[in-house]
A and B are shown apart, each in its own frame.
Chain A
Amino acid sequence: MKRSSKHFLLGAVAAISAATYFMPTPATAAWEPTRPVEFIIPAGTGGGADQMARTIQGIVTKHNLMKQPMVVINKSGGAGGEGFLDVKGSKGNPHKIIITLSNLFTTPMATGIPFNWKDLTPVAMLALDEFNLWVNTDKPFKTAKEFIDAAKTANGTFKMAGTGSKQEDQIITEAIQKATGAKFIYIPERGGGAVAVQLVGNHVESTVNNPIEAVAHWKGGKLRPLCFFDSKRVTYKEVVAEGKSWADIPTCKEQGLDIVYLMLRGIFMSPGATKEQVDFYVGLFRKVRDTPEWKKLMEDGAFNTTFMTGDAFTKWVAAEEKRHEELMKAAGFMAK
């Protein structure tokens, strides 16, 4: 009897699958997703990675760049470890991609979870995310130097909020302390959005938010970027707020704070992906980059729009891992 019930299901399932899968398959040999594509964000909602992934979801759907739908899922548990381990565990499933932030390197280093970026298949670098030094407009600071001097005078009572612990924000804070001798109390929050709000509410003195995470508050007249942690100024000339454009904001180096830190916004996919599968996603993201919506996002968030794929990308990631290892070691953030 059990058999008959199985048969029943078998037949019914077959009927359903026939009905729902009856889609014309393209004649070309190029690989295409045959199921909905899961787009994992190893971070919370409202942060930089989340904003980018959701914008991409909108672009892909609006311009019909993919036949299958794209489902965006936040897997932020364990400082993003949840998301990375999920993709790592989906070997051979080409319907899973993940966007990265620096926790691609820092989370396994700080926690010792069994993960390394080499467990994934690199797809492409979409852009590099900048970092700014942000202060509240209630405070008199207009330049990084004024701020750092005040922080020194305050004798270690200035508070710096940032995303997570032993991640990029704290790495930068650590670098500022080393470079200037000023001491900060670093207060970890759950996401970039929450970090910015703590600064708006004057609960901390500064943050190192990504531009996109705090730009809305700059426009609202609450926050002010003092400088970019980059080697040269960005080129976006459109006025954002206070009559200034991103290009008017100096680099921190110009202001005597010689720190450069950019963060990878890259796409990886599950291990064991074939070349055709990687090529599909590379093609997809090339198309995404050509849309006006993407260009607007890049401008709003003052992104560095470097695009990289293939070996160049893999090499870049390897070098970046090395750099993070040094940074984490120097700061004493490595798991014992």
Chain B
Amino acid sequence: MEELANLFHGFAVVLQPFNILVMVIGILLGVIIGVLPGLGGANGVAILLPLTFSMSPTSAIIMLSCIYWGALFGGAITSVLFNIPGEPWSVATTFDGYPMAQQGKAGEALTAAFTSSFVGALFAVIMITLVAPLVAKFALEFGPAEKFGVYFLAFCSFVGMSKEPPAKTVASMMIGFALGAVGLDQMTGQLRLTFGITELLIGFDFLIAVIGLFGIGEILLTMEEGLSFKGRSAMINLRVVIQTWKELPRYWMTSLRSCLIGCWMGVTPAGATPASFMSYGIAKRVSKRGHNFGNGEIEGVVAPETAAHAAGTSALLPMLALGVPGSPTAAVLLGGLLIWGLQPGPMLFIEQKDFVWGLIASMYLGNVVGLIIVLTCVPLFAAILRIPFSIIAPIILVLCAIGAYSVHNSTFDVVMMLVFGVAGYLLKKCNYPLAPLVLAIVLGDKAEESFRQSLLASQGSLSIFWSNGLVGTIMALGLIALFWPMIQAGWSMLMPVKKGTRQE
């Protein structure tokens, strides 16, 4: 129980009033970064860096880690309110969060999102505290084949569940893969599908596609329907928090499942994005209310948010122990370590005990402080929807443009954003699902890369994908997920159950 003693020591460090203040500043800044597209952790660090040199390394890293927590919380806000996910792992949150907001339940959706994030993060921190060494070891088991297995599983648990015609789902996903393949091929160092256009060298960034398809596309749909957001009646007092909390315990099963998926994905190199999609996909299949997912089901917010945060948090462990960040925001923390001359790696846990346990303690408290701050602001966020459309729409357009521009400092990307926006409108009207397209852009090239790395290692033999227990299990899970509808159908033939009626 040496860990617990260390942790309590860590708490003692973190609970100094100064450190709490530092936390609040970090969280607030992080939330702003999470909300405004185009701001990344690097900017937060740049602002806070001069400040942090007047404090101890522990206080400094607490501040920087709180930017991370704040940004994780903040990412859900725009997903729910405007259908614009700021980070890849908030995409799945839009599926039910945004319909909820449109039905006037923005407050509920936000409360559910924040609370689930907190639960996921808490679960992951507890896991880190108790089994840190085991987790780091598990992370090392992941070679290219295992990585591919995880991506395969993510795709399998997500496809085949959309209501849209299968040929449209396939077309949408494959277009996503094609867009994801544009640019430099990591494996051969060769350019492909760029046709000599220099701007395409770096490919299509997820953020630009998603801002266009989801954000701009949604504004166009709203315009077509007339000039108002439907969600004007959003409750804007704190009672909504209590009410939602009363409802949330019902979804404990989904939460627990999502926590486990999240933690598992977090310690693999795959990270939070597959976790959120996987968790949403599985919840949709397993839940009694799954048929209504996508129409504003609160469980559809709980599942991806819990998993994303469990993953985002548990991903910090391999980062600390191995020095490989799982996301750009996590990289900020890594940068923080380097700036203070702390070398991430296995020795960090031995040479810098105080620091590591202070950081872990700050994960507990940072999330509590973060939850309190964002929940207090729920009415404020929900009130944004009360702003008339003709004012908020151009402001969203401007912020989208800034977000698209600042991904690569390129006005070409702003043009692409608009193209994606019009495409999103047309595709949505023609009943093409957009989620598989986005999933393929985000994970497509990574999946391809690990597939090709695996085949390189095995010299072209596909048997590498069941060459050991771990990869074999993951691939089997993927196949089960893929054929789940058939399995389910077979099951219900054996055991007839009343099917829920479809709601429109």
Contact = CB atoms under 8 A, between A and B. Distances in A.
Contact of A187 (B140, B346, B457): B457
Nearest to A164: B189
B97 interface: no
A79 B184 contact: yes
Interface string B62-84: 00000000000000000000000
A165 to B, nearest CB: 3
B503 interface: no
A243 interface: no
Contacts of A273: none
A168 to B, nearest CB: 12
Interface in B69-122: none
B456 interface: yes
Given A46-B324, A71-B43, A216-B343, A187 B269 contact: no
A159 B45 CA distance: 38
18 contacts: A46-B331, A57-B335, A58-B339, A61-B50, A69-B50, A77-B203, A78-B183, A78-B191, A81-B184, A110-B190, A114-B198, A164-B186, A187-B457, A194-B269, A197-B140, A201-B140, A204-B457, A220-B346
Interface of A: 36, 45-46, 50-51, 54-55, 57-58, 61-62, 69-75, 77-79, 81-82, 85-86, 110-114, 157, 159, 164-167, 185-191, 193-194, 196-198, 200-204, 215-217, 219-222, 293, 296, 300, 333, 335
B16 interface: no
A173 B190 CA distance: 18
Contact of B346 (A58, A164, A219): A219
A185 B456 contact: yes
A203 B143 contact: yes
Nearest to B146: A203
Contacts of A81: 184, 201-202
B323 interface: yes
B429 interface: no
Given A61-B50, A77-B184, A82 B408 contact: yes
Given A45-B331, A77-B408, A79-B189, A200 B42 contact: no
A162 to B, nearest CB: 11
B338 A62 contact: no
B322 A73 contact: no
B53 interface: yes
Contacts of B459: 157, 185
Contacts of B328: 45, 74
Interface in B390-407: none
A57 B49 contact: yes
A204 B453 CA distance: 11
Contacts of B323: 46, 193, 196-197, 216
Given A166-B189, A219-B346, A187 B144 contact: yes
A253 B325 CA distance: 35
Nearest to A59: B339
B364 interface: no
Interface string B183-213: 1111111110000001001110000000000
Contact of B46 (A45, A71, A216): A71
B344 interface: yes
B340 interface: yes
Interface in B133-151: 140-144
B485 interface: no
The 8 closest A-B pairs by CB, nearest first: A216-B345, A220-B346, A77-B202, A58-B339, A165-B189, A203-B143, A45-B331, A166-B189
A186 B187 CA distance: 10
- Residue among B185, B323, B347, B409 with max Cβ neighbours from chain A (10 Å): B323
Interface string B459-474: 1000000000000000
User: Which of A50, A167, A216 has the most CB atoms of chain B within a 10 A radius of its CB?
Assistant: A216
Main secondary structure of the interface of A (DSSP, over half): mixed
A215 B339 contact: no
A217 B141 contact: no
Given A45-B325, A186-B456, 5 more contacts: A69-B49, A71-B46, A165-B190, A193-B322, A197-B140
Contacts of A196: 322-323
Contacts of B282: none
B5 to A, nearest CB: 23
Interface string B427-457: 0000000000000000000000000010011
Interface of B: 42-43, 45-47, 49-50, 53, 140-144, 183-191, 198, 201-203, 269, 322-325, 328, 331, 334-335, 338-341, 343-348, 408-409, 453, 456-457, 459
B343 A215 contact: yes
A157 B187 CA distance: 18
Contacts of B345: 215-217, 219-220
B340 to A, nearest CB: 7
A111 B191 contact: yes
B389 to A, nearest CB: 21
B184 A200 contact: no
A73 B42 contact: yes
A64 to B, nearest CB: 8
A113 B140 contact: no
B202 A296 contact: no
A185 to B, nearest CB: 6
A71 B406 CA distance: 14
Most buried by B among A36, A61, A186, A203: A203
Contacts of A58: 49, 338-341
A298 to B, nearest CB: 13
Nearest to B321: A220
B53 to A, nearest CB: 5
Contacts of B409: 86
A69 B142 CA distance: 39
- Give the one of A114, A201, A333 with max B CB within 10 A: A201
Contacts of B348: 216
Given A55-B339, A57-B49, A203-B143, A219 B191 contact: no
Given A111-B189, A167-B189, A220-B346, A75 B408 contact: yes
Contact of A293 (B322, B334, B341, B343): B341
A62 B54 CA distance: 9
Given A77-B183, A77-B184, A77-B201, A71 B42 contact: yes
A58 B344 CA distance: 16
Nearest to A293: B341
Contacts of B144: 187, 203
B498 to A, nearest CB: 49
A167 to B, nearest CB: 7
Contacts of B49: 57-58, 61, 69
A113 B189 contact: no
B109 to A, nearest CB: 32
B457 A220 contact: no
Nearest to A201: B140
